[in-house]
Structure 1
Amino acid sequence: MLSSKRLRATALTLGALLIATGCGSGGGSGGSKSELKLYNDKGAWKPFFEQMGALGKQQTGLGMKPVGYTDEPTYTAFIKSSFRTNVKPDLFTWTTGGRLEEIVKQNQVADTSAIWTDAIASGDLSESLKKYYTVGGKQYCVPLNTAYWGMFYNKKVFAKYGLKPPTTWAELEKVATTLKSKGQVPFNQTTPTSLFSFAWFEQLLAGTDPDLYERLSTGQASYTDPAVVKVMERWKSMIDAGWFSDPGDKADPADHFKSGDAAMVISGTWFNTSMTQRGLKQGTDYGFFFIPNVEPSLPKTSLVFESGPLCSLRKAPDPEASTKYLKWWITPAAQEKWANARGDVSGNPKVKVADPELDKVTKQAAGPGNRLVLRYFEAAPAPVLTEALSGFDGFLNKPDTYMKVLQKIQKANEEYWKTHKAGS
């Protein structure tokens, strides 16, 4: 849970924003807009959003200005406050899974079923992606980005110690042990905040028992299940071995890569953007590999997958303009610019990835040897996710508390599924 100081800070920030933007956005009265505001929790992507704004203006006559946040709680508070005030975004980023379902059930999000039907028919979106945007039989939002999770590694550090990307879990452990023996911390924490504190939990559990991982997210399993406890014990043993950077380190992992301090970091392919922004080159300065299963007998490699949505409110300031932009966003012309500018993959199957290394990743991800599992951030129901992020963050600082952490998450899990149908 957020501290009282954090909540007060969030409220003050939000209040200032409402005053500053109160005259700039209408309610749901409509109008003929020539520029939309895209509120997002990806402040570092501002230059890429601005490029898309210019391209959209050129191709559709409709411009876009990004309004970026770097603090997730503040951003979430603003979007949810827009449901009750006249300060409404034209477009906004969110997450699929439980958090999307939550605001859809509040009747706040614009229905995009027609967009999906047309896009699947034209080949601009895939049927397999549709289910992640479906709530109650209808589709909401369109893909902002698509990403696969794996391990970024520092090629210069690996070369220095004669290491190669591992193909088994035993090899990954050997790489970590070697790096630690040389005075090099093997793994950097994914982020200086608790936002991605779940990363190793999902990877270890999905790579051990992907069926249990999926049952956990649908209320059909317990966080105190012996197999889940074993995953936390494995994670604790990795921390105890000194394989992770200091959880109090607030530096961006990409900065550690540039300085040579980081050997590896687990993240989505979107992390490539952070690297290229620092002048690092994939294939030269760093590489990427899919993390092998912990359990070698599994028939397929568990590959964590995510797709982040770009949404419009049902009562957007100009619903027609927002819908027009969403339709354009998923076209090949827009997606080719968006994906390749950031150095990432696209949700549009027609888009050619310019980076040969990244193209290799996308082709490998689509191979028959992988089993896609939805990222924990989207898979877990919103109240459970909130407790889990806080719990895992605390665990990183106090690994001995893992059982208490699991018990607290399980309590939130039980409370949620008391009023929801397990397995849905």
Structure 2
Amino acid sequence: MPVFRCTAALLITIMTIPALAIAKSGREPLDVVLMVSGGEQRQVYMELLRSFEAQHPHLDVRHREYEQENYKANIESWLTGDSQAPDVMFWFAGHLMDDFYRKGLIRPVDDLWQAQNWDTVFPESIRRVVSFAGQPMGVPIAYYHWGLYYNKALFQRLGLNPPETWDALLEAGERLKAEGITPVAVGTKAGWTAAAWFDYLNLRLNGLAFHERLMRGEVPFDDDRVRAVFEHWQQLVKGDFFLQGHAGMSWRNALPFLYRGHAGMMLMGGFVKPQFPDSVLDNIGVVRFPLLQSTRGVYENAPTDIFFIPAGADNPEGAKTLLAYMGEPETQAWFNHRLGTTAPNINVTGYGDSIDEQGGEVLAGADGYSQFFDRNTPRALSNPAMEVFVDFMSGKLSLDKALAQLEGLRVAVFGPISNQARLIE
């Protein structure tokens, strides 16, 4: 199969085609709803849609953008409400996407996958997470690593290596604290940044299969293996590894602590790259989350972003045209290069800077991928559970109380697990 290679010049050329000055009359409206997390991402989407319109002048793309927390809170009402559903929407792979499809809120795109020959374009690991019972639900446009970002100059000055093991993480943190530097920058106001710590500790200690069973409610949160997760986490909480006041701070507010050298590390996803000032990018490195079990497989969070067609779309054919465009290697190369994420299309190679390459190494070294905590569980569990995580990280909840509250939430959503099932487990 030929491999598409993009140079930086070609990437710029592809996506900076000006929108055609065509009168709106007689063009088919195409309603697109986007979730944006910052100005750079909004700009990328606008350029993408202008370029699409230039190539498909019969379509009049009408777009709306929403901040991510607002978008997450409203997506289901947009899909189920009385008003006309958009033609194309953004969402995440995982339990919630599966649930929308199961409820008949998403239009199948089997014919588009066949027409585009996407079974040969997207790897099996990606096809699996964007399908429900083998049926593709949309087009994957990006996936990204999570990793431990660190301040290179600070680590070099203190003679530290980025930590590869749990003990090395603890040692690096103590060294940073001795210099009056916070070991880990974090802002948990939205809650999901705390969930990242739970995800990684559980994946490292207990593996992917256990993690997925826990997310499905098949294992109680007061299980000894989950307790071990919180015991490790508690070492960091009691050791004052986390930024003070993080519960009232967004992750963007916490970010300057890292690149200005007031904190040494930050656990974050690849989408963070556009939020760094260009002047500091060369001083930021990223490595995989430290290992805790030498005999355990290495599993990574690799959240996958999807564009899909709602069941109530008014212009499904126009929507398929846009999804086909989003699946093209040229589009995916440019899009992911700009946002610091990874293109799912296997025909995209040869792009990115050092941070992109390091993030790619994290993904390439994985034995398997997980979606993120709030993508893998029902909202009735994930939203209050993330509040528990934040309270635990803030020192407001003891380990025992945190586990008790989480198990109470699990029971409320999934029901109790019998004593016999616990014994078998």
TM bucket, shorter chain: 0.7 to 0.9
Match of 1:175 among 160, 168, 172: 172
Aligned-pair distance for 1:119?
A: 4.4
Aligned equivalents of 2:329 and 2:68: distance in 1?
31
Distance 1:193 1:121 in 2: 35
C-alpha distance in 2 between matches for 1:419 and 1:59: 55
Correspondence 1:259 to 2:256: no
Residue number in structure 1 paired with 2:283: 285
Task: Give how far 1:296 is off.
Answer: 2.6
Identify the residue that residue 272 of structure 2 maps to in structure 1. 271
Residue 128 of structure 1, CA deviation:
2.0
Residue 350 to residue 169, structure 1, CA distance change in 2 (3 Å): same
Letter in 2 for 1:261: H
* Structure 2 letter corresponding to 1:55: S
Local SS of the residue matching 1:384: helix
Q: Give the TM-score normalised by structure 2.
A: 0.82
Q: Aligned pair 1:237/2:235, yes or no?
A: yes
Q: Is it true that 1:59 corresponds to 2:59 in the alignment?
A: no
Which of the numbers 215, 218, 221 marks the counterpart of 2:219? 221
Q: Are 2:202 and 1:205 equivalent residues in the alignment?
A: yes
**Structure-1 separation of matches of 2:224 and 2:249:** 33
Is contact 1:52-1:64 (8 Å) kept? Answer: no
Q: Secondary structure at the match of 2:28?
A: coil
Pick from 151, 155, 167 the counterpart of residue 148 of structure 2: 151
Match of 1:50 in 2: 46
Counterpart contact for 1:149–1:305, Cα < 8 Å? yes
Match of 2:301, SS state, is strand
SS state of the match for residue 198, structure 1?
A: helix
Q: Secondary structure at the match of 1:263?
A: strand
* Equivalent residues of 1:111, 1:140 under 8 A apart: yes
The 8 Å contact of residues 207 and 302 in structure 1, kept in 2 or not, is answered as: yes
Q: Distance in 2 between matches of 1:419 and 1:381?
A: 16
The verdict on how the C-alpha distance between 1:87 and 1:325 changes in structure 2, with shifts beyond 3 A counting, is same
Match of 1:39, as an amino acid? L
Q: What TM-score results when the alignment is normalised by the length of structure 1?
A: 0.83
Shift of 1:319: 1.5
Say whether the 8 Å CA contact 1:305–1:373 is kept in structure 2: yes
* Alignment equivalent of 2:384, drawn from 373, 384, 387: 387
Equivalence map 1:338-357=2 (5 Å): 338-357=335-354
Matched residue, 1:19: none
- Show the 5 A alignment for 1:318-333: 318-333=315-330
Aligned residues: 386
Offset from partner CA, 1:126-156 (integer Å, 9 cap, x none)? 2221121222442212213201111111112
**What whole-Å deviation, never above 9, does each CA across 1:71-121 have from its counterpart, x for those lacking one?**
51x323432222212253232222222211222233211212233344455
Q: Identify the match of residue 32 of structure 2 among 37, 40, 47.
A: 37
Question: Larger deviation: 49-58 or 212-221?
Answer: 212-221
Between the aligned partners of 2:302 and 2:319, the Cα distance in structure 1 is: 27
Match for residue 77 of structure 2 among 75, 81, 103: 81
TM-superposed deviation, 1:191? 4.7
The whole-number CA distance in structure 2 between the counterparts of 1:119 and 1:221 is 40
Cα 1:64–1:335 shift into 2, 3 Å: farther
- Unmatched tracts of structure 1, length 5 or more: 1-30
- Which SS does the other structure have where 1:111 is aligned? coil
| Unpaired stretches in structure 2, ≥5 consecutive residues | 1-25
Q: Does the aligned pair in 2 maintain the 1:353–1:359 contact within 8 Å? A: no
Q: For 1:93, what is the secondary structure of its paired residue?
A: strand
Cα 1:290/1:65, change in 2 over 3 Å: farther
Q: Is the 8 A contact 1:217 1:379 kept in 2?
A: yes
Alpha-carbon distance in structure 2 between the residues aligned to 1:213 and 1:94: 22
The amino acid that maps onto 2:92 is: T
The residue correspondences of 1:17-32 to structure 2 (distance < 5 A) are none
